[in-house]
Amino acid sequence: MELLSTNVCFEGEHRRYRHTAAALGCTMEFAVYLPPAAVGRNPRPVPALYWLSGLTCNDQNFMQKAGAQKQAARLGMAIVCPDTSPRGLGLPGEDDSYDFGTGAGFYINATEQPWAPHYRMYDYVVKELPQLVEDQLLLTDKRAISGHSMGGHGALICALKNPGRYASVSAFAPIANPSECPWGQKAFTGYLGTDRSRWEEWDATLLIPTARERLPLLVDQGTSDEFLDSQLNPDVLADACEKMHHHINLRMHRGYDHSYFFIASFIDDHLNHHAEALGLR
């Protein structure tokens, strides 16, 4: 890992790294916040929250806008922020739109060309990146996962598809049923093809009935989110959970939108949710 920058923050360190990602076949950048417990005079390994960002974002949006470091420092929790897609591959169409290609990897493993060799963000987030940071930084193998919008979708599917890998999961305004919304249908058609049966393993709502582990879901959603009805559809996820007795705490927040102002308002609740599961509270 090549260290690109480091900033002291609440007695911990915010770092940015670059490395060659085998799963993606390209160079990737990511960010890590290490709390004081992991960088102080007597450093020790700490558990980590993996944060997955949304469309058009990279590793820097959450770290600069969410205001999560203060509470993470208090709790002794690291935060790992990957990018949202491979970048600079020169694939045809990768930069044509904001919701497909660059900045829009959707945290799945593509099967269609020319995306299949590189757009494998699921493997990168679930396997390669955790192994890398746990080997080279003071991080334990206790993990939590969360995210926003496209990243909320990513967090939900990563947890649902990997029983025992994460202690907890949460999401802000997730794309809860991507098979049935324009963002998801565009991405899934491009990355996975037109056979909708191949989409089912990447859709949180469709994974709920067969989930082998039923981690409680914490989902926050703003009522003034411009994408609520057309793209996000949290009520469909909640209905699926209710039918399967899968605990979900869907909190609707009056007047809040899709922005990082919303995330910053409730991020401490999510950090506390994960801290309990990680044994930090």
Would you please indicate which residues are annotated as catalytic (active-site) residues? 149, 225, 258
Torsion on CA atoms 163, 160, 80, 257, rounded to nearest 10: -150
Neighbouring C-beta atoms of residue 11, cutoff 10 Å: 12
CA–CA separation, 200 and 42 (whole Å): 47
Please report, for residues 184, 195, 221, 227, 257, the alpha-carbon distance to residue 224 in angstroms, rounded to integers and kept in the order given.
21, 34, 9, 9, 5
Q: Tokens 């202690």 identify what position?
A: 167
Whole-angstrom Cα distance, residue 281 to residue 217?
19
Q: Cα–Cα distance between 82 and 76 in angstroms, integer?
A: 20
| Helix (H/G/I), strand (E/B), else coil: 252 | strand
Helix H or strand E segment including 63: helix 60-65
DSSP state of 232: I
Measured between alpha carbons, how far is 173 from 36 in angstroms, rounded to an integer?
30
Which parts of the chain are beta strand (E)? Answer: 2-9, 12-21, 26-34, 46-52, 78-81, 139-147, 168-172, 217-222, 248-253
Asked if 274 and 137 count as a contact pair (C-beta separation under 8 A), the reply is no
- Neighbouring CB atoms inside 10 A of 164's CB total 8
